């Protein structure tokens, strides 16, 4: 089986439970506080590992990030390319409201200090497999180009979305683009889900686009150009923090196993339904056995 290399962020998550998100000028007491492991890169690597996929994580932490490396290892992720530098580990301040929705403030830290040597090491490891990226590390455009030059398929989760990045990144070099409705609309310049998929397919014909739709499920374009919708699985929503990352990890675990895209997305949807029913980031991601 091919392996997947996740070159991505590693964050310490500071999670606050609140009745509502803090408003400008407001001081709000938190009903709960915890520190956990997160970052879109780590979450997606953990999801891949817990899904049973062969996965390696490449990224960077500071001296305070040992628990992040430990979390990856416990999920079955190869951490030999997790480097340690002098810059503090990236972290997130996460508010989770009474409805389970979240608002996140990021500090990039060591995630923004990945060197070209470390990038090349990740590309070496991804030869013959897939490279998975998110938009929380530096030098994304350089990674796209070097991976393309070496014939390595790249999957990119355009999160968090930045309009300036959308204008400058060579998205035409991608093999997979995974976006939610807001990110997809930002890249495509249209808002209707079917129009988003059609526009992105027209703009990037060699790229398979997967669109997540929150409570409406997810979608992609079939071979005949029509939109295929994967409905959501019912779940009691507690915390949506890692729902998208769980979806992506399980999606690529399924694809690596040889599943068709629709089947892999159905697997990913089942896993995400479990994730949203639990509090936390990486700790909320299910193991494959829980999907039985």
Instruction: Mention every residue, 6+ apart, whose C-beta is less than 8 A from residue 133.
Output: 6, 7, 8, 140, 143, 154, 155, 156, 157
Rounded to whole angstroms, how far apart are CA atoms 286 and 123?
28
* DSSP states of 210-271: EEE-GGG-EEEE-TTS-EEEEPPPP---S--TTHHHHHHHHHHHHHHTT--HHHHHHHHHHH
Query: For residue 70, how far is the Cα from the chain centroid?
Result: 19
Catalytic residue, candidates 13, 78, 239, 245: 245
Catalytic (active site) residue 149: no
Beta carbons within 8 Å of 140's beta carbon, 6+ residues apart: 133, 156, 165, 169
- Contact call for residues 2 and 152 (beta carbons, < 8 A): no
Any idea which residues carry the catalytic annotation? 245
């Amino acid at each position: 089986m091919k392996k997947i290399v996740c070159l991505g962020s590693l964050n310490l998550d500071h999670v606050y439970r609140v009745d509502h998100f803090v408003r400008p000028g407001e001081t709000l007491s938190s009903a709960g506080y915890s520190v956990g492991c997160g970052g879109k890169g780590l979450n997606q690597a953990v999801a891949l590992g817990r899904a049973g996929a062969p996965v390696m994580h490449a990224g960077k932490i500071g001296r305070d990030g040992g628990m992040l490396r430990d979390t990856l290892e416990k999920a079955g992720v190869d951490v030999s390319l997790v480097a340690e530098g002098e810059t503090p580990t990236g972290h997130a301040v996460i508010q989770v409201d009474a409805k389970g929705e979240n608002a996140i403030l990021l500090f990039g830290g060591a995630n923004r200090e990945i060197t070209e040597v470390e990038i090349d090491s990740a590309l070496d490891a991804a030869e013959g497999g897939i490279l998975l990226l998110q938009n929380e590390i530096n030098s994304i455009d350089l990674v796209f180009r070097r991976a393309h030059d070496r014939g390595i398929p790249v999957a990119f989760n355009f999160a968090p979305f930045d309009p300036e990045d959308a204008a400058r990144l060579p998205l035409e070099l991608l093999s997979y683009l995974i976006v939610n409705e807001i990110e997809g609309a930002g890249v495509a310049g249209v808002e209707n889900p079917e129009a988003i998929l059609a526009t992105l397919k027209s703009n990037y014909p060699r790229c398979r686009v997967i669109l997540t739709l929150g409570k409406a499920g997810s979608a992609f374009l079939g071979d005949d150009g029509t939109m295929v919708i994967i409905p959501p699985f019912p779940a009691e929503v507690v915390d949506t923090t890692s729902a998208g990352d769980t979806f992506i990890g399980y999606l690529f675990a399924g694809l690596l196993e040889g599943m068709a895209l629709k089947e892999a997305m159905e697997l990913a949807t089942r896993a995400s339904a479990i994730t949203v029913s639990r509090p936390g980031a990486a700790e909320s991601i299910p193991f494959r056995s829980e999907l039985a």
